[in-house]
Chain A
Amino acid sequence: MITQLPIINLLLFLGMALIIPLFKKRSFSLTTNLGLGVLFLVWISSIVLLYHVITEGAFYYQLGNYDRMLGIELLINTFSVLFSLFIVSLVIIIYIYSTGDATEGVAEKEYGRYYILLFILLFAMLGILYTNDLFNTYVFMEILSITTVSIISIKRKKENYTAAFRYVMLNEVGSLSYLFGVALLYMITGYTNIELVSEGVQSGWSLYPANILTAIGFMVTGIGIKAAIFPFHIWLPDAHSTAPSSSSAILSAVVVKVYILIMIKILFRVFGIDIIQAVHIPTVLLVIASIGMIMGSIFAIAQTDVKRMLGYSSVAQIGYIVMGIGMVSMLGLQAAFFHIFSHGLMKAALFLSVGAVIYHKKIRNVNEFDGIGFQMPVAMFVFSIAALGMIGVPLTTGFISKLNLGLAALDAGQVVLIVVLIVSGFLNALYYLPIMISAFLKDNKDQQRVMRVEKIPKTMLVPLVVLGGLIIAIGLFPGELLSLLEAAALSLT
Chain B
Amino acid sequence: MSFLDALIDHINYIGAMALFVIGLHTVVTHSNLIKRIMGINIMGTAVFLFFVAIGNVTGGVPPIIDQTNPDAVYINPLPSVLILTGIVVVVSITVYSLSLVIRIYETHGTIDQEEIAKMTSEDRDQ
Could you tell me which A residues sit within 8 Å of B by CB distance? 70, 135, 138-139, 142, 145-146, 149-150, 153, 158-159, 161-162, 164-165, 168-169, 172-173, 176, 179-180, 183, 186-187, 190, 192
Enumerate 13 A-B pairs (CB-CB under 8 Å) in ascending A order.
A142-B93, A146-B93, A159-B120, A161-B100, A161-B104, A169-B27, A169-B97, A172-B43, A172-B97, A173-B43, A183-B47, A183-B51, A192-B82
Q: Is the CB of A186 within 8 A of B51?
A: yes
Q: Is the CB of A158 within 8 A of B108?
A: yes
B33's contact among A158, A165, A173, by CB below 8 Å, is which? Answer: A165
A149 vs B96: C-alpha distance when bound (angstroms): 9
A164 vs B33: C-alpha distance when bound (angstroms): 12
Q: DSSP class of A's interface residues: helix, strand, loop or mixed?
A: helix
Report A175 CB to chain B, min CB distance, Å: 8
Within 8 A of A (CB), among B68-126: 76, 78-79, 82, 85-86, 89, 92-93, 96-97, 100-101, 103-104, 107-108, 116, 120, 123
Q: Is the CB of B120 within 8 A of A139?
A: no
Report B58 CB to chain A, min CB distance, Å: 15
Q: Is the CB of B86 within 8 A of A179?
A: yes
Residues from chain A with a CB closer than 8 A to the CB of B108 are 158, 162
Query: From B102, which residue of chain A is reached at the shortest CB distance?
Result: A161
Using known A-B contacts A162-B116, A180-B47, A183-B47, determine if residue A172 contacts B40 with beta carbons closer than 8 Å.
yes
Q: Is the CB of B93 within 8 A of A165?
A: no
Residues from chain A with a CB closer than 8 A to the CB of B82 are 135, 192
Q: Is the CB of B85 within 8 A of A172?
A: no
Q: Is the CB of B89 within 8 A of A139?
A: yes
Q: Is the CB of B100 within 8 A of A165?
A: yes
Using known A-B contacts A168-B93, A172-B40, determine if residue A161 contacts B103 with beta carbons closer than 8 Å.
yes
Residues from chain A with a CB closer than 8 A to the CB of B107 are 158, 161
Using known A-B contacts A162-B116, A180-B20, A192-B82, determine if residue A142 contacts B89 with beta carbons closer than 8 Å.
yes
Closest 9 CB pairs of A and B: A142-B89, A158-B107, A183-B51, A168-B97, A161-B103, A161-B104, A187-B54, A176-B43, A172-B40
Residues 45-66 of chain B: 1 if any A CB is under 8 Å from the residue's CB, otherwise 0? 0110011001000000000000
Using known A-B contacts A139-B85, A158-B107, A161-B104, determine if residue A172 contacts B120 with beta carbons closer than 8 Å.
no
Residues from chain B with a CB closer than 8 A to the CB of A146 are 92-93, 96
Residues from chain A with a CB closer than 8 A to the CB of B47 are 176, 179-180, 183
Query: From A171, which residue of chain B is reached at the shortest CB distance?
Result: B93
Q: Is the CB of B44 within 8 A of A162?
A: no
Which of A145, A150, A176, A187 has the largest number of chain B CB atoms within 10 A? Answer: A176
Is the CB of B24 closer than 8 A to any CB of chain A? Answer: yes
A146 vs B37: C-alpha distance when bound (angstroms): 15
Report A467 CB to chain B, min CB distance, Å: 31
Which of A139, A150, A159, A179 has the largest number of chain B CB atoms within 10 A? Answer: A179
A145 vs B123: C-alpha distance when bound (angstroms): 28
Residues from chain B with a CB closer than 8 A to the CB of A172 are 40, 43, 93, 97
Query: From B43, which residue of chain A is reached at the shortest CB distance?
Result: A176
Q: Is the CB of A165 within 8 A of B97?
A: yes
Residues from chain B with a CB closer than 8 A to the CB of A168 are 93, 96-97, 100
A164's contact among B93, B100, B123, by CB below 8 Å, is which? Answer: B100
B120's contact among A142, A162, A179, by CB below 8 Å, is which? Answer: A162
A437 vs B51: C-alpha distance when bound (angstroms): 57
A165's contact among B86, B92, B104, by CB below 8 Å, is which? Answer: B104
B24's contact among A135, A145, A153, A173, by CB below 8 Å, is which? Answer: A173
A153 vs B85: C-alpha distance when bound (angstroms): 25
Residues from chain B with a CB closer than 8 A to the CB of A138 are 86, 89
A176 vs B16: C-alpha distance when bound (angstroms): 13
Q: Is the CB of A169 within 8 A of B54?
A: no
Residues from chain B with a CB closer than 8 A to the CB of A173 are 24, 27, 40, 43
A42 vs B116: C-alpha distance when bound (angstroms): 43
Query: From A170, which residue of chain B is reached at the shortest CB distance?
Result: B27
Query: From A184, which residue of chain B is reached at the shortest CB distance?
Result: B50
Residues from chain B with a CB closer than 8 A to the CB of A139 are 85, 89
Residues from chain B with a CB closer than 8 A to the CB of A158 are 107-108, 120, 123
Residues from chain A with a CB closer than 8 A to the CB of B100 are 149, 153, 161, 164-165, 168
A146 vs B89: C-alpha distance when bound (angstroms): 10
Query: From B76, which residue of chain A is reached at the shortest CB distance?
Result: A190
Report B19 CB to chain A, min CB distance, Å: 11
Which of A138, A153, A158 has the largest number of chain B CB atoms within 10 A? Answer: A158
B79's contact among A149, A165, A186, by CB below 8 Å, is which? Answer: A186
Report A372 CB to chain B, min CB distance, Å: 23
Which of A146, A172, A192 has the largest number of chain B CB atoms within 10 A? Answer: A172
Residues from chain A with a CB closer than 8 A to the CB of B93 are 142, 145-146, 168, 172
Report A329 CB to chain B, min CB distance, Å: 34
A176 vs B108: C-alpha distance when bound (angstroms): 29
Which of B76, B86, B120 has the largest number of chain A CB atoms within 10 A? Answer: B86
Q: Is the CB of A186 within 8 A of B54?
A: yes
Q: Is the CB of A165 within 8 A of B101?
A: yes
Query: From A145, which residue of chain B is reached at the shortest CB distance?
Result: B93
Residues from chain B with a CB closer than 8 A to the CB of A135 are 82, 85
Q: Is the CB of A183 within 8 A of B97?
A: no
A107 vs B53: C-alpha distance when bound (angstroms): 48
Residues from chain A with a CB closer than 8 A to the CB of B33 are 165
